[in-house]
Structure 1
Amino acid sequence: MENVLKGLKPELVFKYFEEISQIPRGSGNEKAISNYLKSFGENLGLETIQDDALNIIIRKPATKGYENCPGVILQGHMDMVCEKNKDTNHNFVTDPIKLRVQDDMIYATGTTLGADNGIAVAMGLAVLASNDLEHPSLEVLITTDEEAGMSGAMALDGSNLKGEYIINLDSEEEGYLLVSCAGGVTAWTELNAEFTNYDSNKQGLLVEIKGLLGGHSGIDIIKQRANSNRLMGRLLNLLCVDYDLAKIQGGSKNNAIPRECEAIIVVNKDDVDKTKDCINQILNIFKHEFSTSDPDITIECSETNIDKVFTKETKNNVITLLNLIPNGIQTMSMDINGLVESSTNLGVVHTTENLVTFECAVRSSVKTLKEDITNKMDLLAANLGGKFRLESDYPAWEYAKGSKLEEICVETYEKLTGKKPIIMAIHAGLECGLLLDKIPHAQAISLGPDMFEVHTPNEHLSISSTKRTWDYLVAILKGMNQY
């Protein structure tokens, strides 16, 4: 380990953050990090549970004077979104995250940082390892697979948790207390891919849309950034030459707004220059539309070879779905100013030997709106002869106004800063809704330090905000015996 973060404060938090950054922990690849956490708890002599879903629960008894306080569950998730720049040589299954510090920020190098939600894991471990903190009985709960569908939280046995207050550490803005979030579901559409041969006198062209900012498909959807998969659909619909389509590939995670997409088309050799001119005209349209949100958008076109192309029907079905499937903000809340109520993100498009698949993250704070969006997708798939299915459906977290935990967190923040925190709901999926279904006697709140550009290779974490958030968490725990 390089000890890049050595000397940063709080020392224990950054020590453990750097340690877990050495362990690959993409969603679905959590065995190693789960075993590390299990050993961590056991080495401290603390009761530790690792369940079949690899979730970890580590219990720490209350300190003196806090034995009669309600128990606290500190909660986060161990998995991270694995995104990298196309020119970055990094294997998320085997390679550690390469950390770097720039001014007040911690970055990775060409990849996602994993502060979402590694910083929660690091804070939980620091609380467990510290001998000088005052606190009620604690349960540090670290779940698996949050980023890819929350299957860890879904599989959790709620009877293993005794705490009454859940402090979720999966938020990304200091000074905000989250009290509600959207529910969500992963929507899959599959279209049959039929291929045919093409005239050898024609030329294959690789068309690549690049330079988009991307972002978190929930939190950043309100920024209305360009979606590379959607733009490729528009480009294919706008092309001014006759062409065949051979392949389309874009995005890697449904919960990240896709930054890149590529398609292979085949045109008459005499039309190559005309095709490139047309693509440049389309690029100018995109640059104009997204000059503020995605100023560095670019489209590259280069010659390539291909063996076969889609049939005309497959090509038309793919283009139709790319252009008509619901994407982006669907409705805004009429009750909370500026809050997205429902949205979709066409995160992944993938071509295989016999299928073209489209993977969307659907979010909504209103269950019936979520159902309306997925019904539209189902109708579209059926009309194109495709198949549609839903996975990883999780509930919204409804606001429990005036909870005791909210009162504690608000008053503690005011004492520390002299300011009131902002109470808000977010259009992103947190595990609180699922946890509260399993622990109905509990109350929940979510907080965290400033993070930026999560789910992208430009993800970065504020060092000073992490210190202030740690001090705030310590103060919340210390103040529990006053209520």
Structure 2
Amino acid sequence: MNILESLEPAVVWKYFEKICQIPRPSKKEEKILAYLVSFAEEHRLEYKQDEIGNILILKPATKGCEDLESVVLQSHVDMVCEKHSHVKHNFDKDPIVPKIDGEWVKATDTTLGADDGIGMAAQLALLASNDIKHGDLECLFTVDEETGLTGAFSLKKGFFKSKILLNLDSEDDGELFIGCAGGVDTVATFEIQMEETPLNCFAFKMDVSGLKGGHSGDDIHKGLGNANKILNRFLWNASREYGLRLNKFSGGNLRNAIAREASALALVPTSQKEPIRVAFNIFYDELCSELEVTEPDLRMHLESCDIPDSVFEKGFQESLLNSVYACPHGVIEMSRKIEGMVETSTNLAAIKQEDDKMIITTSQRSSVESAKEDIAAMVRSVFELAGAEVKHGEGYPGWAPNTDSEILNITRESYERLFGEAPVVRAIHAGLECGLFLEKYPKLDMISFGPTIRGAHSPDERINIETVNKFWLHLLDVLVNIPEK
């Protein structure tokens, strides 16, 4: 492709562009894993792979650095696969097409996969190098971080030996992360009940689009629109005011992305044909006003369609719309310990109609375990009151900050010396695999850092070019300042 060949550091961008050509959806990472194995063999590097797919590639210390402590560098191989609804792109087969847009690199109408392709690229650049000083390196590539943290959950004790871990999965230049939130998924399943369509009806399709979406951890505090909540708000009111009946309702996609699009097929009595159009246009204007700062590209559309043979049974429709309306979404609590940090949040991620079931996926996050359990129970209670079957996922632990960390001091001093300003040290509301690593390796000293990525988990994902070079220089400097054994 060679679209990024003019950017610095050239070696990192070279491998990032190569990674873009290899499909790597979560749970379908076999192609990128095969590439990593062939890379290790080509460079005559020792490697091993566990039963779940995690790969560890080892590189001995360079001359003069043999006495440094060994370090494990870690990133995940999978990416979030999101695209605009009108785009034809098969993430199982098609490459990501990067492009340079001013000071950013972004993809063409899809997620870019800089989360965490850029971390992988930095690891490969180090492994392939002949002139970079470093101690013993262990490069850990984990699978399925985005949809279940499967690789981190399944990692066995003793898979790597290092006591220092650099997680390369953060998205803010100038910020060092020493903690993260834990999370859990809550999924509600309704048995869809249908009945015959009433006579003398007007049928129409409506949709919500143009929202930014984004990461359900990093972006949850930004006041972004949630397409599921927006469309449900109209449906709930219209069912009471105009006798609206539903045939279909779906929106959102992934549990860790804020819903960008939603659609529904509905009908009203013929006498309400014009009133429902007027109400829809008024609602659209109101939402544009409410969200003019955060969602300037909001789009809502209504058009007539063929009348379906059946609609949701009235009691089921009421339970569904009530529960989606009542389900919390967004920030629940800000941290009392770290100013400006979200402590607890929840994301109404996806509503999917599958055969005779309506499946509603939500995700909860908190840096406080009891608060995480509380918000998950709150969401559960909403849907159980509506008659749904509700299940929680396995969940994952948070990573408690250690302000006395030696690798924190090294990384902070390095950044300040290189770039003339002190980095911000904080915890992140998004989930990282570090909490799970700490369960298996309780003596690990960890830090997470990376270049600036915006719009992660959405087609607007982009990575800042200048900060990739800073990230690379910072990483190299940290490696030569690792303490001796």
TM-score (norm 1): 0.97
Q: Quick check: 2:186–2:380 contact (8 Å CA) kept in 1? A: no
Equivalent position of 2:265 in the other structure: 264
The aligned amino acid for 2:132 is L
Structure 1 residues 379, 201: closer, same or farther in 2, change over 3 A?
same
SS at match of 2:286: helix
Equivalent position of 2:454 in the other structure: 452
Taking the aligned partners of 1:253 and 1:303, their CA distance within structure 2 comes to: 29
SS at match of 1:116: helix
Verify: 1:53 aligned to 2:52, yes or no.
yes
Equivalent position of 1:143 in the other structure: 142
Taking the aligned partners of 2:198 and 2:49, their CA distance within structure 1 comes to: 58
Equivalent position of 2:224 in the other structure: 225
Q: Quick check: 2:365–2:372 contact (8 Å CA) kept in 1? A: yes
Q: Deviations over 1:267-286 (max 9, x none)?
A: 12232221111111111221
Matches within 5 A, 1:228-267: 228-239=227-238, 240-267=241-268
Taking the aligned partners of 1:129 and 1:307, their CA distance within structure 2 comes to: 62
Equivalent position of 2:11 in the other structure: 12
SS at match of 1:359: strand
Verify: 1:102 aligned to 2:101, yes or no.
yes
Q: Quick check: 1:209–1:232 contact (8 Å CA) kept in 2? A: yes
Matches within 5 A, 1:67-466: 67-239=66-238, 240-305=241-306, 306-466=308-468
Cα drift, residue 78 of structure 1: 0.7
Q: Deviations over 1:138-166 (max 9, x none)?
A: 11111111111211110111311101111
Q: Deviations over 1:19-57 (max 9, x none)?
A: 111111111110111111111112211111122211111
Taking the aligned partners of 2:423 and 2:25, their CA distance within structure 1 comes to: 32
Unmatched 5+ stretches in structure 2: none
Cα drift, residue 460 of structure 1: 0.8
SS at match of 2:219: helix
Q: Deviations over 1:343-373 (max 9, x none)?
A: 0111110012211111011100011111111
Equivalent position of 2:475 in the other structure: 473
Cα drift, residue 220 of structure 1: 0.5
Cα drift, residue 200 of structure 1: 4.8
Q: Quick check: 1:66–1:135 contact (8 Å CA) kept in 2? A: yes
Q: Quick check: 1:65–1:481 contact (8 Å CA) kept in 2? A: no
The aligned amino acid for 2:305 is T
Taking the aligned partners of 1:280 and 1:176, their CA distance within structure 2 comes to: 43
Taking the aligned partners of 2:111 and 2:221, their CA distance within structure 1 comes to: 21
TM-score (norm 2): 0.97
SS at match of 2:176: strand
Q: Deviations over 1:195-238 (max 9, x none)?
A: 11103532221110111111111000110111111111211112
Taking the aligned partners of 1:307 and 1:20, their CA distance within structure 2 comes to: 47
Unmatched 5+ stretches in structure 1: none
Deviates more, 1:146-155 or 1:194-203: 194-203
Name the % identity: 38
Q: Quick check: 2:255–2:362 contact (8 Å CA) kept in 1? A: yes
SS at match of 1:256: coil
Cα drift, residue 69 of structure 1: 2.0
How many pairs does the alignment contain? 482
